[in-house]
Structure 1
Amino acid sequence: MKEKNFKRKFLAATLGALIVVNIMSLCDLSVVKLGNFSANLNSDEITTSVDDVTDETRESLKQDIIYALDNFETRIPLSDYNITTDVFSSIASEVLEQNPQYFYIAINSFTAGYSLNKYNSTGLFVASSATINYPENGDTEAIKNKINFVSETADQIISGIDDSMSDIEKALYVHDYLALNYKYDERIHSSDPNERSQSVFDIYNFFSQGTGVCQAYTTAYKYIMQYKLGIPSKMAISSSMGHAWNIIYVNGNWYHVDVTWDDPTPDMEGTVNHNYFLMSDEAMLANDHHDWRISDD
């Protein structure tokens, strides 16, 4: 019996030693302490909060993401940034919110991995790289067809705009065009989860189906204003309202524009309101809009 117990203890000790050796080899640790596992790899320099990211790092990473998307690359190196995967996800979300031309990519299309040999004292690892999983099974030609469709539809919408129009007139023209030619997707309020899941949130299906929820209106307006007309546009997002709208820069000031709420629901053909066109912060607060954040801030 004693011999069996001895063998068990010996095997357990040997296995434990092998595990420690394998961990050391895998993680390439410079300092290892049994019972108080730690590493000394300048790991305190890891940025664990998106609020702590420097402007230079944020802009550099955004440009890397944009370059990858523009060229349909599937991998973005991240190890030099010394950030966590959560920080990467936050900055990737900013890129998508600020650049409506990437409508075909969702935040869950990014998968960030981490490096096992760079982590801080609390066990948070440095993001090593991110992969991009493109829709359409990665068929870039199919994606380009959607991109072209959205671009051509937007060009058709602004074909009635001429150079003599002011930025305010252009903003009003696009506002009215969307409200008059598209309708709110009421499936979002359906009690049937299957019907509700068919609600349109993206600009491609908004343009192709002629209906969408506030996110679709907002993305379409931002795409046209910013990407086609060169008029600065941001997204205002209120989680407490479950709503989104635009903020545009005209005549030296930022103004709110809520095309969704200016489009009557149920749809009234030929009718468009202007209750939420070029509104100040104070006016929006006084008219049932609150707790918003701005996508580009």
Structure 2
Amino acid sequence: MKKPEKFIIILLVFLVFISSFAIVPVSAARYEAEAALLHALGIIDGWYTEPFDAKPGAKLQRQAAVVALVKLFGKKDEVHALTQSEVDGILSRYSDSHLIAPSARPYIAYAVKTGMAAGTSPGTLSPRAWMDSDTFAAMILRNMGYGTDSPEVLLRPMAFLGEISGLDERAVTILSKKVLIKDDAVGILYAALQARLPDRRHLMEDLIGKGYISAITAAKYGFILSDPASGTGMRLPGYAYRPSDREVVYELIRDALLSVSESIMLPVNTASDTPEEVFAVWQDVLNDTPEILYNTGLIYRSDGLLTFDYSLDIEIVKKHRRLLEERAEALLRELIRPGMTDFQKELVIHDYIVNHCTYDPTPSRSPEANSAYGVLCLGKAVCEGYAKAIKLLLDRAGVECLLVTGQALNSFTGTYQSHAWNIVKIEGKYYHLDATWDDPIMKDGSNKLIHTYFNLPDEDIGRDHRWDRTSYPVCVSTEHNYYVYNDLIAIGYDAFVSYASRKAREGHDSIAVKISPNQEIGFDLNKAFKEIQSRANRRICAYKPVDSYGIIELFFK
């Protein structure tokens, strides 16, 4: 019996904010806040490694402007779908394509291929030429649907973009330049997100509708009011959904932990006005996001400052996050095939984890043991790590999966201990899945793959597991239980003897079959063994006794 991991109780501290004054240097960037937003949205993530940390006064090259244009309209995935040969082929007809930065080449190729941008002549792109405001604004307007023959686009593109995005004349004047700097470009891109399309919708609304930007992300950065009565942000006409305050706080905490941030400022709203509310949201984020590593606690201050604690050094956490992402994506490419059912996806992921991970029974185990990283990258973990790895892979494979925290019976001590497992949804029905208990440690120290806890209803797993049933979906179906689904059931003497002898004659060296609803089998097992050996003309050399779920395993010579 494995000893389940006990979860750490986190102390949430609510501090009274004491304001203080300090001399702060004035930023050289007019649009620093807007740059942080565009960086978070992935529009200028190629310009800076952190929001506006590098030369906002640097001149804007044409290639950087085109890359930002492509990202502004949500075309990153389509760019990444281009092969290297396609990129090289598209750019080969331009004599100066060798001047394009390597990271910009696929974006420039995509823009040229789709007509989002054109060369400066039939044979040149001028990637290192400086960008002016009218050219940049005209490129944006054309991709918003304003025709190239429109007088506004032809004669006064920057002024027209300012009008449809709500910029005042002073802002338009400041941004109207023969040579843009990156700070200016940020101002123009930010204005474009708020600009009206020809059909009167805003560009941000269009990007949300197409799935390029989530409504919650838009609300988080003030484009959609999460609380219309608050009077802040920009309400986009015609877009009905308004994320709740809790959703906004949830996304902020989730994004911060995924990026391994040490602290963030939360907006003051109905989901952040008490530490208890923030603590509850944080717990939901951890349960829903197995990619988050080593976050052991937080401190919330009344001014909205939320500080996170990690059990390992920040740089190590970031490294492990990157390695976990790489490993998860590689495994999904290896395990998941087109046309697989959700049951098949669940089974192959369950079996991989059980076969490639060992339970860590040591009391002084490392923080990695409680994480998906421990399972997928180190091959050693405890129940929390098993459950998080299952959820991470099933989530990405498109199978609904929940992390369950509760207790499980330790058969050696007769007491219940903290434990974690999963609930999965297969074809509209919910089931319990406990990969940890399907990975028993044998007497010789070896590991063994079993499926006793693969897709159980509440009634069955409730024999040795306890959880808050009001907090999770009800599980009543047995349709996708491993033994039911694979027809591995032979209840009673006659059915068991017939099934086991047939499998032995077919050449199976071992079988696992459910012969009773529970440990009370109701017939003489030794008599059944003798008849099986006689019918199959093979010897039963060993067997695993019937467990509490009525499953027996036989081994033949």
Please say whether Structure 1 and Structure 2 have the same fold, judged by a TM-score greater than 0.5.
yes
Q: In structure 2, what is the Cα distance between the partners aligned to 1:260 and 1:295?
A: 22
> Please, which of 233, 256, 268 is the counterpart of residue 446 of structure 2?
268
| 288 and 106 in structure 1: CA distance in 2 versus 1, 3 angstrom threshold | same
Partner in structure 1 of residue 342 of structure 2: 167
Tell me how far 1:83 sits from its aligned partner.
Answer: 2.3
Structure 2 residue 291 is matched with structure 1 residue 101: yes
- SS at 1:88's partner residue? helix
Q: In structure 2, what is the Cα distance between the partners aligned to 1:60 and 1:112?
A: 16
Q: Which structure's CA Rg is the greater one? A: 2
> Please, which of 64, 80, 83 is the counterpart of residue 273 of structure 2?
83
Structure 2 residue 292 is matched with structure 1 residue 66: no
Q: Is the 8 A contact 1:89 1:107 kept in 2?
A: no
Q: Which has the higher helix share?
A: 1
Q: In structure 1, what is the Cα distance between the partners aligned to 2:278 and 2:472?
A: 16
RMSD (CA atoms): 2.8
Structure 2 residue 245 is matched with structure 1 residue 57: yes
Alignment of 1:20-169 (within 5 A): 56-73=244-261, 74-81=263-270, 83-102=273-292, 104-108=293-297, 110-115=298-303, 128-133=304-309, 137-139=313-315, 142-158=316-332, 159-169=334-344
Partner in structure 2 of residue 236 of structure 1: 404
Name the aligned partner's letter for residue 79 of structure 1.
V
Gapped runs of 5+ residues in structure 2?
1-17, 20-242, 408-415, 474-557
| 75 and 238 in structure 1: CA distance in 2 versus 1, 3 angstrom threshold | same
Q: Is the 8 A contact 2:406 2:420 kept in 1?
A: yes
Name the aligned partner's letter for residue 229 of structure 1.
A
Q: In structure 1, what is the Cα distance between the partners aligned to 2:258 and 2:456?
A: 34
> Please, which of 178, 183, 187 is the counterpart of residue 362 of structure 2?
187
| 89 and 255 in structure 1: CA distance in 2 versus 1, 3 angstrom threshold | same
Tell me how far 1:136 sits from its aligned partner.
Answer: 5.6
Q: In structure 1, what is the Cα distance between the partners aligned to 2:317 and 2:458?
A: 38
Tell me how far 1:282 sits from its aligned partner.
Answer: 1.5
Q: In structure 1, what is the Cα distance between the partners aligned to 2:329 and 2:247?
A: 30
Name the aligned partner's letter for residue 356 of structure 2.
N
In the TM superposition, what whole-angstrom CA distance separates every residue of 1:189-209 from its partner, at most 9, and x where no partner exists?
xxxxxx356782112233333
In the TM superposition, what whole-angstrom CA distance separates every residue of 1:203-249 from its partner, at most 9, and x where no partner exists?
223333311110010001001101x2121110111155311101111
Q: In structure 2, what is the Cα distance between the partners aligned to 1:71 and 1:263?
A: 32
Q: In structure 2, what is the Cα distance between the partners aligned to 1:136 and 1:242?
A: 23
The sequence identity of aligned pairs, in percent, is: 26
Using structure 1 for the length normalisation, give the TM-score: 0.65
Name the aligned partner's letter for residue 428 of structure 2.
G
- SS at 1:101's partner residue? coil
> Please, which of 222, 225, 238 is the counterpart of residue 394 of structure 2?
225
Q: In structure 1, what is the Cα distance between the partners aligned to 2:426 and 2:387?
A: 17
Q: Which has the higher contact order (CA 8 A, sep 6+)?
A: 1
Q: In structure 2, what is the Cα distance between the partners aligned to 1:178 and 1:155?
A: 15
Q: In structure 2, what is the Cα distance between the partners aligned to 1:199 and 1:225?
A: 20
Q: Is the 8 A contact 1:200 1:213 kept in 2?
A: yes
Q: Is the 8 A contact 2:294 2:317 kept in 1?
A: no
Name the aligned partner's letter for residue 259 of structure 1.
A
